[in-house]
Chains A and B, each alone.
Chain A
Amino acid sequence: MVQSAKPHSPIWCPGCGDFGVLAAVKRAAADLKIPTHELVLVGGIGCSGSIHNFLEINGIHALHGRLLAQAVGVKLANPSLTVLAAGGDGDGYAIGMGHFIHAFKKNASILYIVMNNETYGLTKGQASPTSQIGFEGNVEPPFHSILTALSIPAPNFIARTFSGDPKGMTAILEEALRFNREGRGFAFVEDLSPCVTYNDTYKLWREKVVDVSKLDGYDPTDRKRMFGVCLDIIDSGRIPIGVMHRPKDSDSAEGLEVKLVGSKRGPVRADSTLETNLPAYQKLLGGLA
């Protein structure tokens, strides 16, 4: 066995919600028997974005907020890879917001996990886009990723998990990864991941979470109804979790990489040597006059 980078021990504070995500990612990848050399994790900047350092897989430590663009690039270049992107709420919803919205629209088959702790932990507890009013003097209303996700009419997988429920998280990550590996498109999972140092919300969130899948009339294919359900939960001061959306047609493969590469090998695996392509190149250049 060739020795590659050994995983470092996490830099996170004891009790950090991100440990739950690390464990669930490992478990889900093992359960689905994804070979480690075919896994790529693109991490953002912030405590959560260092997660790839603690796994024995391919990893990119991306620029702050740009992890989704890099992850989409990886997937389109080699669709046979299983690609995850993981970062925090500041990374995804502040500096990375433009890419966040477009990731739903693009619908490349990657799994994006946002570890939401409602604060900038690594820079010592400033207000983030998801901070409640009053947190560190915050006067702006918090951003709700799930509502935004549901508002984009694309066949994405949309869910929210809670680090206080590792079992539920693992099941959802497994479903999300299967969704990706079937080429069905973008999977977005926000994990409620408390920051024990600057915003310890374990107790509060455990009381507030409402699993939408346990409500009467649960239908994750009905975007309009789910939007109303989530909005009602939020308006009542609670937090919706569970799978909020999965596309209706279980057979459709709508992922961007399927549309662009399909059954072909794609940019990395195609034979791009000069020798093989010489006749085609001669024809291409011969068209000039």
Chain B
Amino acid sequence: MSTPAAHPPSLPEETGPSAARPPMELSDLSVMIGGQGGDGTLTVSDLLGRYFRKRGLYVYTSRNVLSRIRGGHADASVRASRDPTSAVKPQVDVLVAFDNEAIQLGRAELAPHGFILYDSTTFHTDLPNAVGFPFATLVGGPLGQPIFKNTAAYGALSVLLGFDEPMTRSVIEERFKRRGGEALEKNLKALDIGRKAASENPDVPNRFSLVDGDAHSLILTTGNQAVALGFVVGGGRFFAGYPITPATEIMEYLQRYLPPFEGVVRQAEDELAAVNMIIGAAYAGARVMTSTSGPGLSLMTEGIGHAGTAEIPIVVADCQRVGPSTGQPTRHEQSDLSHLANLGHGEYPRFILAPSDPSDCFLLTTEALNLADRWRLPVILLLDQALCQNTATSRRFDLSAVHVDRGKRLTAEAVQKLEQYKVYQYGDGASPYAVPGTPGVWSEVTGNEHDEWGHVSVNPENRVRMMKKRMDKMVLARGELPNARLFGPPEAKIGLIGFGSTSGPILEAQSLLGAKGVPTRYLQVRTLYPVPVHEIEPFLRSVDVAFVVEHNYTGQFARLLRETIPAQYTKLRSILRYDGYTFRAPQIVQAVQGGK
């Protein structure tokens, strides 16, 4: 049990623009950059993130893009904070707009002291606290192309926010050095153009200043990258997938990471093929994974059930997005849980693990591989769009916490000591397994009900024994499944329950509530299925009311808890959001204080 170190955001009083104004010092800053897809908003976000990390600040970035390559509104937000954070800041301090739409959309979230920096090449606004520079025109002349307007905007921002100049430049150098001389040179020029223009406007320089942080030893990464790295380090060597937002980056990272370790990554013709390819590779003895999102998960459901009954160890990372059907591919939701808990026709065991931040994604991916091998069943890593794609400051991934456990794998020597080798030998949970190629024995597996030898069987006694053998895995493995984490004082009578990326907003809300004299206790559940009754029931007993915070319409986790822990169900309340955006801490605070 630990208590979060998060402080409530401290926002000084607004000072207003004047030549004599002192900079407004912030310890928690949010910059939103909006424009058309292709305007380079994500690049500005990336540059800011790099700069803030150099200042030792915690960084959390999120993006709001459409499912198209170019065009359409796209925005990105960057939060920089002295204190740990993994959530979008409720209010925007600085809005950078490449078009009028970005202003119209971003204004709603702008703080009272908020400032707008916009590209006045194609439009003008009379809004107070808005300053325009024709970035596209300013760079278009000397650099030949307007595309460097985003770097010019970064330059202007660096003046507005009182950035250290050499550090500002070094960010550009790091970002563009790999692309070579001309790209770097032009971006440095664009930076200078933006800085010069901003410096010459008395309303802009040093309007805000940022405190320094001490989080230098941490890393900035995404859940998708962490899952890919966890897979490699956990001994994963075969991955098959099909491109799908927001899961694709896992496959793309592995295409880079795996080959040096003799691993194979295949982009399959569809999700049916992807899951069956990993089933074949796992049968052959490789550690395997696939990653997908809702629509792909629906197709993989057939294969996951096959792995469940044929007892093939596979890991499936589900990067949840808005569903059903194609839903909203680029938007956030946590609505696959009910489907996963009841995945497929028939009954078979499965574990569903839910990491909450990148370092947890790394660790639980290695654990998922171990659990799959030890219990010979499918393990689902339940992720969500924000966790997968938003960048967050994270602890360095801890290699010393990783272990590789291949379960009851029979070596060639061990096999020779056996009198008989039964691939589905009765007994506790998983049977010992000899991979194909082991001299003297062979393994027959099937998705049909089977006897101990792996032959198709309709014997009713065998059916009962085999069902129990498989289903018992969920009971026998309980002590090995990842533990929940508790935050907040034990005496608190208001409980919060969540999983996945909601941990960021929940921790922030807990901190805000604490400052208002409302102590809460937060249970971050990391194994969702089988439902960890041994963790959740005592937690529910310890509180008067528990709010289950999740991103779906029907309160899927709360329903699962009501079903599994009926004695405590009257204490459960739901805090839900399903508009495609992540929770902002104040929404949780209001819901808790409203008591509903």
Residues in chain A within 8 A of chain B (CB atoms)? 1-6, 8, 35-40, 42, 50, 52-53, 56-63, 66, 69-78, 80-81, 98-99, 102, 260-261, 264-268, 270, 272-274, 277-278, 280-282, 284-285, 288-289
Contact = CB atoms under 8 A, between A and B. Distances in A.
B232 A281 contact: yes
A52 B261 CA distance: 33
Given A37-B436, A58-B443, A272-B404, A285 B399 contact: yes
A211 B287 CA distance: 45
**Which residue of A76, A99, A272, A277 has the most chain B CB atoms within 10 A of its CB atom?**
A272
B153 interface: no
Contacts of B454: 5, 59
B518 to A, nearest CB: 37
20 contacts: A2-B416, A37-B438, A61-B448, A62-B447, A63-B447, A66-B306, A69-B273, A69-B280, A77-B237, A77-B284, A80-B437, A102-B269, A268-B435, A270-B261, A273-B404, A274-B233, A281-B233, A282-B399, A284-B257, A285-B399
A73 B453 contact: no
A57 to B, nearest CB: 5
Interface stretch (B86-94, B130-138, B419-427): B419-427
A78 B284 contact: yes
Contacts of B286: 77-78, 267-268
A40 B445 contact: no
Contacts of A265: 262
A280 B237 CA distance: 15
B489 to A, nearest CB: 34
Contacts of A56: 442
A58 B273 CA distance: 21
B437 A273 contact: no
Q: Which of A3, A37, A264 has the most CB of B within 10 A?
A: A37
B442 A73 contact: no
B279 interface: yes
Contacts of A284: 229, 232-233, 257
Given A98-B270, A268-B286, A57 B442 contact: yes
B281 interface: yes
A138 to B, nearest CB: 26
Given A37-B439, A277-B261, A66 B303 contact: yes
Interface in B207-247: 219-221, 225, 229, 232-233, 235-238, 240
Contact of B436 (A62, A81, A266): A81
B440 A70 contact: no
A76 B264 contact: yes
Contact of B415 (A2, A42, A59): A2
Contacts of B237: 77, 266-268, 270, 272
Contacts of B399: 274, 278, 281-282, 285
B295 interface: no
Most chain B CB neighbours (cut-off 10 Å) among A78, A270, A273: A78
A274 B272 contact: no
B339 interface: no
B418 A60 contact: no
Nearest to B446: A61
Contacts of B260: 280
A277 B418 CA distance: 32
Given A8-B455, A285-B397, A267 B281 contact: yes
B110 to A, nearest CB: 31
B285 interface: yes
Contacts of B423: 5
Contacts of A102: 269, 273
B302 interface: yes
Nearest to B237: A267
A63 B276 contact: yes
A63 B302 contact: yes
Contacts of B269: 98-99, 102
A70 B445 CA distance: 12
In the complex, the 10 A-B pairs of residues with the closest C-beta atoms, listed nearest first: A73-B280, A61-B446, A69-B276, A270-B262, A267-B237, A70-B280, A77-B281, A73-B277, A267-B286, A77-B284
A242 B266 CA distance: 33
A274 B279 contact: no
Contact of B442 (A37, A42, A74, A281): A37
Interface in B390-448: 396-397, 399, 402-404, 415-416, 418-423, 435-448
Given A36-B442, A66-B303, A2 B419 contact: yes
B268 interface: yes
Contact of A69 (B268, B403, B420): B268
B456 A50 contact: yes
A60 B445 contact: yes
A205 B317 CA distance: 49
B283 interface: yes
Given A74-B280, A77-B264, A272-B235, A37 B404 contact: no
Given A58-B442, A288-B397, 17 more contacts: A3-B421, A4-B440, A5-B423, A5-B444, A37-B441, A66-B272, A69-B280, A73-B283, A74-B283, A76-B266, A77-B280, A98-B272, A270-B237, A272-B235, A272-B287, A274-B235, A288-B219
B53 interface: yes
Contact of B281 (A5, A73, A280): A73
The range of chain B's interface size is 35 or more
Contact of A61 (B272, B273, B303, B445): B445
Given A62-B276, A266-B262, A76 B238 contact: yes
A73 B513 CA distance: 52
A288 B53 CA distance: 12
Nearest to B358: A288
Contacts of B261: 270, 272, 277, 280
A99 B269 CA distance: 7
Contacts of B546: none
A26 to B, nearest CB: 14
B446 A60 contact: yes
B379 interface: no
Interface in B44-87: 53
Given A61-B446, A98-B270, A37 B440 contact: yes
A56 B272 CA distance: 29
B437 A37 contact: yes
Contacts of A268: 237, 281, 284-286, 435, 437
* Most interface-central of A42, A73, A75, A280 (chain B CB within 10 A): A73
Contacts of B310: 60-61
Contacts of B448: 61
Interface string B375-397: 00000000000000000000011
Contacts of A78: 284-286, 435-437
A100 B449 CA distance: 26
Contacts of A80: 437
Contacts of B441: 2, 4, 37
Contact of B403 (A50, A61, A73, A274): A274
Contact of A74 (B236, B418, B436): B436
A272 B220 CA distance: 27
B4 interface: no
Contact of A4 (B273, B287, B421, B445): B421
A2 B220 CA distance: 53
B303 A261 contact: no
A81 B267 CA distance: 22
A284 B399 CA distance: 11
B256 to A, nearest CB: 10
